Structure 1
Amino acid sequence: MAEPVKLRSVAPPEARRSRPSVLETLIRLEGEAIAATDALSLQHQAVNKPRDILDCGHIFWVSRKGSAVKILAVTGQEQMERHTPFGQWLKSDLKTRIQKGELNTASQWQFKSGKSGDVITYPFIHAFFAPFSPNPKSGGLLFAFAAPPPESHVPIMARLGEIYGLVHAARRGAKRARMAPRKRNLFLGTVGALALIGLIPIPMTTLAPAEVVADSPFILSAEFDGVIKDILVAPNAQVKAGDALVQLDDVTLRNELILAEKELQLSEVRRKMAGLRAFVDAEAKRELAVANAEADLAKARRDYAQERLDKTILRAPRDGLALFSDVSELTGQPVSNGEAILRIAEPTRVLLRLHAPLAHGEALREGARVRMFLDTDPVTPLEAELVRASYRAVTLPEGGMAFDAHAMLTDGDVPRIGARGVAKIYGEKAPLGYFLIRRPLTLFRQMTGL
């Protein structure tokens, strides 16, 4: 069918000379595209400015990456709503044509709906695709017309695709351009300096809660089953050898001593009477031997009762501090034979007890340097040396597990027993770079198993 003839008004020669030609308009559009400040401005120019020379309905900026396709801009809108039914339908149509290879070159088609024979209601059903240069598979401009576009529009649309494609590719290439020599040298110098710094050997350190404890204290324990009647000293009091410290309940033992003494008195009387009868009766001599044995047995029982009664008072075996928490917690408590009641420690002989985290057990080597910062005096650290550490983790009273370690002071004043703080343990030396990535590397391997 012949294309209908459109009647146009004839303008005066002056007006015809002032109206720009298609070539001039293309040159202007190319200049504006080159001057675009960013990719978004370039996209909006590409979908709106060409309408100055093309009588089209919509222009779409189509971006491709393999078989994936995106509509980044459309005529007359700030942004393309990709999740609308029209946007989803257009993407589906373009994906189908990509699979057929129709978008690798300039192509023209008429939109159809998904149902065969059912023409879509979208008014601009005639489409022309102008691929970008220099890579046609990176996308292009999609022009939509209400009627088939004239043949004179085809080279213009193809040229527009080339212009905006080249500008877009140039902008992306400019972002990836190589750095200037001065910046490159500065960058390489910084990387080299960081690499050298990462090779500096530093000791592997870890922080651990610490407490000052007594070194080899004497444990005062009960020598028989009983009940604590009274504590005769104050907590952490200075005591001397022989001082009474603990009084056990002695009611039963005192009664046993009284009965043993009565039995001893009775056996002594029997022995005297047997001795008197032995002078006149030969058979009484045999009773005298039995009476002597019973008297000796009664005396042994009396001595044993006296010894147990004496042991109800526990005395300090040496000078030192009586270490226990509270008098009220011990008074009235039952104790078994050998059960510890309190400790006697020398205040000048102390150790640092550390609870090292499980993740940093490599720092617990004998002779490792330890610095403890007391809570009461965080400014002046205590210098110590690790003397021993447990090979297996122990359960802490407050929960969790840790390695139990002890360190001996090597310098500084002796702190008070019971003082707490934080200790820093210095392990073997390793590069600084490994020290910085140790924790992330450990977490990565624990999560991935690599």
Structure 2
Amino acid sequence: MNEPLPHPQLLLYLDALRDRALAADSLNSLAFTIANDLHPLLNFRQALVFAEHGKRFELLCISGLAKPTEDSPYLVWLQRASKWVASQLHGAEPQWLARDALEPPPDIADGWAEWWPQGVWCVTFREHGGKRLGMLLILLDERPPDTIPPMVRGVVLTWSYCWAALLRQRRHWRWRPTRRQTVGALLLVAMLLLIPVRQTVLAPAEIVSSDARIISSPIDGVIERIAVRPNQAVSVGTLLFTLNETSLKSRVEVLSKQVAVADAELMAASQRAFDNPQSKNELTVLGSVAEQRRAELAAVTAQLKRTQVFAPEAGVAVFGDPNDWIGKPVVTGERILQLADPSKPAMSIQLAVADAIALEPGAEVTLYLTAYPLDPLHGRILETSYQAKASEDGIVAYRLLASIDGKRDQARLGLHGTAKLYGKQVSLAYYLTRRPLSSLRAWTGL
């Protein structure tokens, strides 16, 4: 008597399982399909998909959730249990492993009693040559009906075919060099590392004047007014700034009156000296006092004239915001501004200590201005500072001064940019490892 044919809906469902397997674009997608699509047919507790890599088994998917990433006790136990279960499987047909019919090791038995039901239905996936690619473990309370294995045989073959195809696709794109290719590549890298290259370093730079004169405060006082603007061109005799004259004028008035008093006392003593011998002795003292008062008055008057500072030569006034100076107390010799000659531009470079290389006067420099990045300026180092000092940004750096050769159309005072400094020729290996080696020596002291 012929066996009854499967229900049409079941055939459509099995056909849909094949379509999903063929549509998988990665091994993880296929494993997700394998772990979850048989649940309506078997109503299992859990399904586990493992990929076999020699003697190691990788858990690809657990039904009902994405692949866990935590090393929980259950997952750690699964690594051992998968190896033992794989050793119990023989042949390509699905096998039913019942707990009562087996004698697993104690650690496997304890985990089975805690996490697994009475039996495991095991399905293996093999490629055409018979090599096992992976396995599906379905946790059930009882053995599946005998009609299930023949019914899902076609689906299992489709899963095996897709599994092998995805592995071949992955192997196709994985290139493994031969020993000769590896040795050749290492020799090529060694030859490249011996290529001589020019040592270079980058540092911030600014356009300054190589001929700049510092204008400082001639006396102690308070800045009353800045008569010029930053970057203003001035000529000889132009008023630059003035100091407050209030205290000096008061002292002039007081000393003028003291001079008048000293002169009056001297004249009175001179008149008494005709008939009073004692007054003759006072003439010398009173004359000295009068001269002292006149000297003090002359000194203060000279200081009063120096409250206005004029440009000793033509140039461009270089300083910061004028409002920062107004009302600020200054002392004699304190720098207020600079008079720079715009016809003699130069590069002022701040080379950080961490980037310092061996540079000698005459080394080449290329300056890329932020305002004109396509028109670099070229020059050579004129002088280097002996000692590194902290800049305004708190970076300890050496100050270098470089000339500007060739065209100077864009060399306007105050422009900033990045300077590229060229040192001696070194090997490419030294060029690439200089900074790491210096850092390593700083940390280890070797």
TM-score norm. by structure 2 comes to 0.61
Aligned to 1:26: none
Residues 198 and 425 of structure 1, relative CA distance in 2, 3 Å threshold: same
In structure 2, stretches of 5+ residues that fail to align are 4-24, 35-47, 68-72, 101-111, 147-156
Residues 81 and 439 of structure 1, relative CA distance in 2, 3 Å threshold: farther
SS in structure 2 at match of 1:279: coil
- How many Å separate the matches in 1 of 2:175 and 2:372? 58
Within the candidate set 400, 413, 417, 1:417 is matched to 413
Larger Rg over CA atoms = 1
Amino acid at match of 2:416: R
- How many Å separate the matches in 2 of 1:292 and 1:221? 38
Aligned to 2:395: 401
Aligned to 1:51: none
Q: How many residues align?
A: 370
- How many Å separate the matches in 2 of 1:293 and 1:214? 51
Matches within 5 A, 1:1-400: 63-65=51-53, 68-70=56-58, 81=63, 95-96=80-81, 98-99=83-84, 102-103=87-88, 110-112=97-99, 114-115=112-113, 120=118, 196-215=191-210, 217-239=212-234, 243-356=238-351, 359-362=354-357, 367-378=362-373, 379-385=375-381, 387-389=383-385, 391-392=387-388, 394-396=390-392, 399=393
- How many Å separate the matches in 1 of 2:83 and 2:89? 8
- How many Å separate the matches in 1 of 2:276 and 2:443? 100
Amino acid at match of 1:420: H
Q: CA deviation at 1:343?
A: 1.8
- How many Å separate the matches in 2 of 1:134 and 1:306? 113
Aligned to 2:39: none
CA contact (8 A) 1:227 1:334 kept: yes
Q: CA deviation at 1:192?
A: 6.0
Q: CA deviation at 1:305?
A: 1.8
**Percentage of identical aligned residues:** 28
- How many Å separate the matches in 1 of 2:51 and 2:271? 133
CA contact (8 A) 2:213 2:338 kept: yes
CA contact (8 A) 2:364 2:378 kept: no
Aligned to 2:107: none
Residues 428 and 250 of structure 1, relative CA distance in 2, 3 Å threshold: same
CA contact (8 A) 2:125 2:133 kept: no
Q: CA deviation at 1:252?
A: 2.5
SS in structure 1 at match of 2:357: helix
CA contact (8 A) 1:132 1:140 kept: no
Q: CA deviation at 1:409?
A: 0.5
- How many Å separate the matches in 2 of 1:313 and 1:355? 35
In structure 1, stretches of 5+ residues that fail to align are 1-6, 10-37, 48-59, 73-78, 149-159
TM-score norm. by structure 1 comes to 0.60
CA contact (8 A) 2:122 2:135 kept: no
Amino acid at match of 1:405: R
- 1:88-135 per-position Cα deviation (integer Å, ceiling 9, x unaligned): 99996894373599449769773228349x973x6xx67698999999
Amino acid at match of 2:401: A
CA contact (8 A) 1:264 1:298 kept: yes
CA contact (8 A) 2:124 2:132 kept: no
SS in structure 2 at match of 1:424: strand
Aligned to 1:28: none
Q: CA deviation at 1:286?
A: 0.6
- How many Å separate the matches in 1 of 2:212 and 2:237? 16
Residues 339 and 178 of structure 1, relative CA distance in 2, 3 Å threshold: closer
- How many Å separate the matches in 2 of 1:384 and 1:433? 27
Aligned to 2:151: none
- 1:190-215 per-position Cα deviation (integer Å, ceiling 9, x unaligned): 87666544432222323333211234
CA contact (8 A) 1:209 1:421 kept: yes
SS in structure 2 at match of 1:285: helix
- 97-106 or 439-448, larger mean C-alpha shift: 439-448
CA contact (8 A) 1:131 1:141 kept: no
- How many Å separate the matches in 2 of 1:426 and 1:276? 85
Q: CA deviation at 1:369?
A: 2.3
Amino acid at match of 2:254: L
Q: CA deviation at 1:139?
A: 6.2
Amino acid at match of 1:214: S
Q: CA deviation at 1:230?
A: 2.7
- 133-142 or 356-365, larger mean C-alpha shift: 133-142
Q: CA deviation at 1:217?
A: 3.3
Q: CA deviation at 1:342?
A: 1.8
Q: CA deviation at 1:280?
A: 3.2
Amino acid at match of 2:405: D
CA contact (8 A) 2:121 2:137 kept: no
Residues 172 and 142 of structure 1, relative CA distance in 2, 3 Å threshold: farther
Q: CA deviation at 1:229?
A: 2.6
SS in structure 2 at match of 1:207: strand
Q: CA deviation at 1:339?
A: 2.5
- How many Å separate the matches in 1 of 2:79 and 2:412? 81
CA RMSD after TM alignment:
5.5
SS in structure 2 at match of 1:337: coil
